[in-house]
């Protein structure tokens, strides 16, 4: 039974907002497979579980809408995701419980887990609700605000080192994220004042919305800028267990070679993602294009890998019969797509001198065909590229 709130819910304005044309599609309505009966009709000011009062809309997607809410019991802010009807995020909840109950680790606070769950019944059925810590802008959004859309050396060193610590925590607890990308790394919020500002803004100047007979469709508030520690989010595609895994995972151009070739894989796929993502953030361009006629193409992807890493060892090629489509038994490339003439040294244009040497050394510790030869997430946290400021201060480099 829910505890009684210690604070009374606030009465949010029901007038004074811009009412948008009801015939125009807005926010989640613009999604290709949007069906209104699948989305719970959340309204600002609504209180869930006699505790969580909705103060603003944060975003939407195919699986949920996201809202900023204030916990009336403890006067703290949270993000509330209200899942579409039929969406059962049991896997993410299970992994979150596993991680919440794990031993303390420096990376534990750098991973966002589900803090609370409950069901709400809407006009067309039951919806699962998930409560998370509130966070700010993603690395993707932040990149778009930077000069030339590129992370500076100090930003990438600090941010990636902390990401490696977060992944070391996951891997120590036998969890593989499988979906590491700049979309899933969000800036922490150290001062809740930026969130209270959003609430007060809603009180003074209510957000524009479309008012329908059975629901309102609100505009989402801009993501607040914050400078807290980066937090790794979205455990929906994570795998748990200390065994090897199989199956197609990872965003297309971020896929590790063992995934493309149908081999067993483990936590080293997350390590691969770190290297490919960091390149994107620093260079403002993808390391692998991996497309033929604008369509993701495994052969193109593998040819580009050969050009940047050299031919794979025979030991690696023996791990999957699929390799015979692209290499002969001696390990020679036989694909129809020629190997591009390029190298990491040629492609890297952001750094020079010692910075370039350390950055390429970091990448080469990741871009290995044999997963066991890649650095672990914990080892990467101490990589010379990330430790450069400390080592330089001590006269060690």
Which residue numbers are catalytic? 179
Instruction: Supply 231's token pair.
Output: 């937090």
- Give the helix ranges, DSSP H, for the chain: 90-100, 139-143, 153-172, 193-204, 257-260, 268-283, 298-309, 314-317, 344-347, 353-364, 377-381, 384-393
Q: Residue 213 phi/psi, 5° resolution?
A: -65, -40
From the list 224, 274, 304, the residue with the least C-alpha distance to 58 is: 224
CA distance 332 to 290: 20
- Is residue 319 helix, strand or coil? coil
Under 8 Å between Cβ of 327 and 315: no
Instruction: Supply 92's token pair.
Output: 């993410």
Q: Residue 36 phi/psi, 5° resolution?
A: -60, -30
- Is residue 316 helix, strand or coil? helix
From the list 6, 185, 46, 172, the residue with the least C-alpha distance to 98 is: 172
Q: Cα 338 vs. chain centroid, distance in angstroms? A: 33
- Is residue 280 helix, strand or coil? helix
- Residue 336 DSSP label: S
């Amino acid at each position: 039974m829910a505890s009684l709130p210690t604070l009374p819910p606030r009465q949010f304005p029901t007038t004074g907002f811009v009412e948008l044309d009801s015939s125009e599609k807005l926010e989640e309505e613009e999604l290709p497979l949007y069906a209104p009966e699948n989305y719970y009709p959340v309204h600002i000011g609504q209180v869930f579980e006699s505790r969580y009062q909705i103060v603003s809309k944060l975003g939407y997607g195919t699986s949920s809408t996201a809202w900023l809410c204030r916990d009336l019991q403890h006067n703290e802010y949270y993000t509330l995701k209200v899942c579409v009807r039929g969406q059962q995020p049991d896997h993410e909840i299970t992994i979150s419980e596993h991680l919440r109950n794990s031993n303390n680790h420096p990376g534990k606070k750098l991973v966002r887990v589900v803090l609370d769950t409950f069901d709400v019944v809407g006009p067309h059925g039951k919806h699962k609700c998930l409560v998370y810590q509130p966070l700010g802008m993603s690395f993707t959004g932040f990149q778009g605000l930077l000069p030339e859309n590129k992370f500076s050396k100090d930003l990438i060193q600090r941010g990636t080192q902390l990401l490696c610590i977060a992944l070391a925590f996951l891997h120590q607890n036998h969890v593989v994220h499988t979906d590491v990308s700049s979309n899933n790394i969000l800036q922490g919020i150290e001062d809740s004042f930026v969130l209270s500002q959003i609430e007060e803004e809603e009180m003074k100047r209510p957000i524009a919305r479309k008012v329908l007979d059975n629901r309102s469709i609100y505009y989402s508030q801009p993501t607040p800028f914050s400078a807290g520690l980066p937090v790794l989010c979205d455990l929906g595609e994570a795998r748990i267990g200390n065994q090897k895994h199989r199956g197609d995972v990872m965003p297309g151009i971020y896929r590790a070679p063992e995934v493309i070739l149908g081999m067993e894989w483990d936590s080293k796929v997350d390590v691969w993602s770190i290297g490919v993502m960091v390149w994107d953030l620093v260079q403002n361009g993808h390391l692998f294009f991996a497309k033929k006629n604008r369509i993701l193409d495994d052969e193109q992807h593998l040819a580009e890998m050969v050009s940047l890493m050299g031919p794979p060892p025979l030991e690696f090629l023996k791990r999957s019969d699929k390799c015979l489509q692209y290499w002969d038994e001696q390990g020679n490339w036989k694909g129809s797509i020629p190997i591009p003439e390029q190298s990491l040294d040629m492609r890297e244009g952001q750094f020079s001198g010692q910075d370039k040497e350390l950055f390429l050394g970091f990448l080469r510790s990741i871009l290995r065909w044999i997963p066991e030869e890649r650095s672990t997430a914990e080892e990467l946290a101490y990589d010379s590229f990330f430790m450069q400021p400390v080592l330089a201060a001590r006269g060690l480099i």
